[in-house]
Chains A and B, each alone.
Chain A
């Protein structure tokens, strides 16, 4: 039993320890839970599209719910010419959502509570959006740093501020998800510890708070996945449709 609330975030190896040229690539509990999430997602979507009918069965309804949710979100933020990006945003959203949710089960490991993983997600989106912006607009993409309708003497200062805020996008994107997951799961463990230490007589108070906190964490898991996807769509909109 883990007495330290931070012990749940330790990454340790499962199985043999492999390495290539000194870089450790052994299978860890982090990889295990990423694999479990992937298998769950693939199973969910395969089961929902096996027997497609006009009057849908239960899993097909869920599939269509997820599909419509992301499709509507992309239409609202980017517009309908971003349809090629729909599979990517759907994968991103549902992968982060599943990894967040699985971390709520006892004795499991929250993959998104590792900052390197959320940082990698954010950097891929940042570099992808920048490449899309340059591919679509050429060097005119640099006009994103020059908002329209400002006096000329403010221009140098404002461009510097805009560049800094553009470069802070991957950092804020990754730290938002990471810190939410870290804080939530640490609080869950701390209150769980209170339940055990207060025993039978006083333990019902932190227990009821833990129940409420778990409900909040389920909401936060969904919300953070949604916010990650929405912000990626907004950054994509900045790159695709540059009306400043």
Chain B
């Protein structure tokens, strides 16, 4: 197989990791919502933690993007 074709396949495979990122972000927000509906006054204080958790979960998906770009352009 040519290198160019293998690169494209590799970059496409790297995008599968975004499924995990989606599950992670959904879990964080789902848990926050179910807790916030039970205890709205305490939920407001944890909003920064929610944003931090979202950004960390999103970062894992973006690491997959970086791997895809590395495969496409750096090898």
Contacts and interface: CB of A to CB of B under 8 A. Distances in A.
A223 B65 contact: no
Interface in B27-67: 48, 51-52, 54-56, 58-59, 62-63, 65-66
B66 A175 contact: yes
B47 to A, nearest CB: 11
A230 B52 contact: yes
Nearest to B45: A76
B62 A175 contact: yes
B51 A175 contact: no
A127 interface: no
A172 interface: yes
Contacts of B58: 176, 180
Contact of B62 (A73, A76, A176, A223): A176
A213 to B, nearest CB: 15
Contacts of A182: 65, 69
A205 interface: no
Given A176-B59, A179-B59, A230 B65 contact: no
B59 A172 contact: yes
Contacts of B48: 73, 76, 226, 230
A223 to B, nearest CB: 6
B55 A227 contact: yes
Chain A residues touching B, range: 10 to 19
A143 to B, nearest CB: 25
A139 B65 CA distance: 38
A226 B59 contact: no
Contacts of A178: 66
Contact of A180 (B51, B52, B62): B62
A183 interface: yes
Nearest first, the 10 closest Cβ-Cβ pairs linking A and B are: A179-B62, A176-B59, A227-B55, A179-B66, A179-B65, A230-B52, A175-B66, A183-B65, A223-B55, A223-B51
Given A180-B59, A183-B62, A224-B55, 15 more contacts: A76-B48, A172-B59, A172-B63, A175-B59, A176-B56, A176-B58, A178-B66, A179-B63, A179-B66, A180-B58, A183-B65, A223-B51, A223-B55, A226-B51, A226-B55
